[in-house]
Amino acid sequence: MNLLIAGVTIADPNSQFNQQKCDLRIEQGKITDIDTQLGVLTAVNGDTVIDGSGLVLSPGFFDLNCSIGDPGFETKEDIYTATAAAAAGGFTGLAVLPHTKPVVHSKGEVAYIINKAKGNLVDVLPVGAVSQDLEGKELAELYDMQQAGAVAFSDGTKAITDDGFMSRALQYAKGINGLLMVYPENKSIAGKSQINESKNSVLLGMKGLPALAEEMHISRDIFLATYHDAPVHISNISTAGSVALIKKAKKDGVKITCDVAAHHLVFTEELLSDFDSNYKVKPPLRGKTDVKALISGLKDGTIDAISSQHRPHEIEFKDVEFEIASYGIIALQTVLPLLIKAGLDAGQIAEKLSINPRRLLNLTVPVIKTGAEANFAIYNPAAEWTYNADNNFSKSANTPLLNKKLTGKVTLVYNNKQLQSYG
């Protein structure tokens, strides 16, 4: 399908056309022409013409932290529903976590995901487990998984608690130019916590998870990364203290990167006052000071990327008492509206959601330029829409944003010579 996109604003810091209104022609999967003189490019026979007035065109979004449940937990989400939700949210690439059944801890599981996702508009890239069965005791088959197509290594939502094991894992990953993406939580401090430790947790009568648990774990990983001169990526940071630790470590030359989940840039612990389990996430929703620090950390470069932290669950895991509900929300379709609500502009969204996630994984970064393979999302930053059961493409519905009016809507995605549009 050939496209002519007229008068769209490009948001791509790597493009010479960044922040300019342009006409673009797409032919057989490639950007064949871009012109800032609107109206110079005209439609020819067979072109699909798209009016880009008021719309933003960005390199396709890429998610560093997505759970899909496939294999083994397909009742939560499978590859087909996850990619459908991803495309509707502007994502043309997903790094999927290994906490499935079986765990993605050998080349066989990596090959399964790659083969099942072949031919999709959305690129699905497996993240292999760091440890066998996510137990944090023995290294998984890191090299074999990397050779089979794993783009990084993580134990998903499980923190690596054994310091010696983490040290060995970093050393081994460095030897194969692999990246460890680790969840930061000191389990002995965290215990069986439910929400952020604060006056709010006392008021609600629930055990609080102190910021200390996250920050102690990050401090350990900073020491180990320094000792081995090895890269480490911290997933889903949530506190002001974490931002400060990582900012200093970067200044000191430590090879550390991090990301933040979109909902931690908007939601705060006050939303838990009516015990809505759809707001139960891990790390927990924090205070306003933390949210302010996270947004500041994004803007000053301390935080490298934004992730969805997509965690689908069946209704019986969420529509229960708060104390026994599972952690997590579905998020692929709501990342963009949350970032707009957080005050990020189109350039910052492209950098943190499209460019940096791919750079961290040493993947090809799509650029909006003549001759490039077409990989982009188009969205209307001002469009209001209601997220509901009819337009939710996920298999699950565990989100506090269902039936809420949101601002910022993806209208079209293009990748792998495939197009999907949304009214």
**What CATH number should be reported for the domain holding residue 377?**
2.30.40.10
CA atoms within 13 A on the CB side of 188: 4
377 in the same domain as 306: no
76 in the same domain as 17: no
Beta carbons within 8 Å of 231's beta carbon, 6+ residues apart:
174, 179, 180, 225, 255, 256, 257
Q: Nearest-5° angle of CA 243, CA 244, CA 248?
A: 115
Q: What was the pLDDT predicted at 166? A: 98
Q: What was the pLDDT predicted at 218? A: 98
168-226 pLDDT tens trace: 999 999 999 999 999 999 999 999 899 999 999 999 999 999 999 999 999 999 999 99
User: Chain-wide mean pLDDT for the chain?
Assistant: 97
- Statement: residue 271 has pLDDT above 80: yes
pLDDT cut 70: percent of the chain above it: 100
Please provide the DSSP assignment of 124-175 as one string.
EEE-B-SBGGG-SSSB--HHHHHHHT---B--TTS----HHHHHHHHHHHHH
Average pLDDT over residues 343-353: 98
109 in the same domain as 16: no
Q: What was the pLDDT predicted at 16? A: 98
pLDDT confidence of 45, banded at 50, 70, 90?
confident
Phi, psi of 146 (to 5 degrees): -60, -45
Please provide the DSSP assignment of 356-396 as one string.
HHHHHTTPPPP--STTSBP-EEEEEEEEEEEE-TTT--SS-
- Statement: residue 1 has pLDDT above 80: no
d(CA 283, CA 70): 23
67 in the same domain as 49: no
Average pLDDT over residues 55-79: 97
Q: What was the pLDDT predicted at 274? A: 94
Average pLDDT over residues 159-164: 97
148 in the same domain as 125: yes
209 in the same domain as 167: yes
Q: What was the pLDDT predicted at 360? A: 98
Q: What was the pLDDT predicted at 129? A: 98
Q: What was the pLDDT predicted at 138? A: 97
- Statement: residue 46 has pLDDT above 90: no
Beta carbons within 8 Å of 86's beta carbon, 6+ residues apart:
63, 66, 92, 94, 122, 332
Strands ordered across the beta sheet of 232-234:
180-182, 232-234, 256-261, 305-307
Write the CATH number for 201. Answer: 3.20.20.140
80 in the same domain as 135: yes
70-95 pLDDT tens trace: 999 999 999 999 999 999 999 999 99
pLDDT confidence of 54, banded at 50, 70, 90?
very high
Q: What was the pLDDT predicted at 25? A: 96
pLDDT confidence of 119, banded at 50, 70, 90?
very high
| Cβ–Cβ under 8 Å, residues 25 and 32 | yes
Q: What was the pLDDT predicted at 44? A: 86
Residue linked to tokens 């470069």:
301
289-335 pLDDT tens trace: 999 999 999 999 999 999 999 999 999 999 999 999 999 999 999 99
181 in the same domain as 37: no
- Statement: residue 423 has pLDDT above 80: no
Tokens of 365: 């970064």
- Statement: residue 43 has pLDDT above 90: no
178 in the same domain as 33: no
72 in the same domain as 39: no
175 in the same domain as 45: no
81 in the same domain as 26: no
Q: How many domains does the chain have?
A: 2
Predicted structure pTM score: 0.97
Tokens of 187: 């389990």
Average pLDDT over residues 220-239: 98
Q: Domain range spanning residue 391?
A: 2-57+369-395+402-421
Provide the residue count of the chain.
Answer: 423
- Distance spanning both ends of the chain, measured CA to CA: 18
pLDDT cut 90: percent of the chain above it: 97
